[in-house]
Amino acid sequence: MTFGARLYRTKQARGPLCVGIDPHASLLREWGLDDNVAGLEQFARIAVEALAPEASLIKPQSAFFERFGSRGIAVLEQVCDDARAAGAMVLLDVKRGDIGSTSQAYADAYFGATSTLAVDAITVSPYLGFGSIQPMIDTALANNAGLFVLAMTSNPEGPQFQMARTGSGRTVAGTVLDSLAAANAGCVPLGSLGAVVGATLADTGEDFAFNGPILAPGVGAQGGTPADVRRIFGSAASNVLPSSSRDILRAGPDVAALREAARRVNGEFAEALG
């Protein structure tokens, strides 16, 4: 079953929520944990136990594990394994983007059958040209995995590149969405190539009906609401996966409180998005 089909089925059963697992130093301290590998391991164990049975997608932010070196990567591998065992799909937030053989090596790392870091999907950057991510597209699809391609991020620096106009007058972000629409054409019930579009954007004027999933970071602590998601994505809102990290994780380290926070956010968006 393709990634798009698996995600559609999981979202129907569990709701649209994607929960980020971002063990940055300040959050470890908020949980009363040391900022070391032992603290990381405890944080990860609690987060996965509480959240993986609730969310459709678990999204570990790789950088917060990588900062501890090989031992941190070992914890990340365990997070991915345990989250999938609990029924969640794993989207690894790595934002990779390169060309040629390097792009292929990233694809092999995250989608290869023998890789210890193989996941359901990763985030990628197309801003070396959409064609630069073709090895990752090909390898993902060959392994029934998916990609979430940065299109319109909510960071203040993003519009400098993403909203720049091409020679045809189209925004650069718009050309990314057009490329995704072409790649997902004819896929049923949903394409496996998604976009990352911030949930706190002003009106964009873009068409998000590209037959793929939309990861919408920025809900909760960054201010994005169900009403914002409906406004930004319009008829494509049913394909949105609202992504929350801090707003939910701050309910920890109590497992029951974390679960309740995830259920609350999931319920709000499920009701609003249909």
Strands (E) located in the chain: 18-21, 57-60, 89-96, 121-124, 146-152, 193-197, 214-217, 240-244
Q: Give CA–CA dist 224/201, Å, rounded.
A: 9
User: In Å, what is the CA distance from 180 to each residue of 105, 137, 231, 267?
Assistant: 22, 11, 21, 29
Nearest alpha-carbon partner for 130 in 36, 210, 45, 242: 210
Nearest alpha-carbon partner for 176 in 189, 167, 166, 190: 166
Q: Given the residues 95, 230, 231, 263, select the one marked as catalytic.
A: 95
Catalytic residue list contains 59:
no
User: In Å, what is the CA distance from 79 to each residue of 45, 74, 217?
Assistant: 7, 9, 20
Residues known to be catalytic: 95
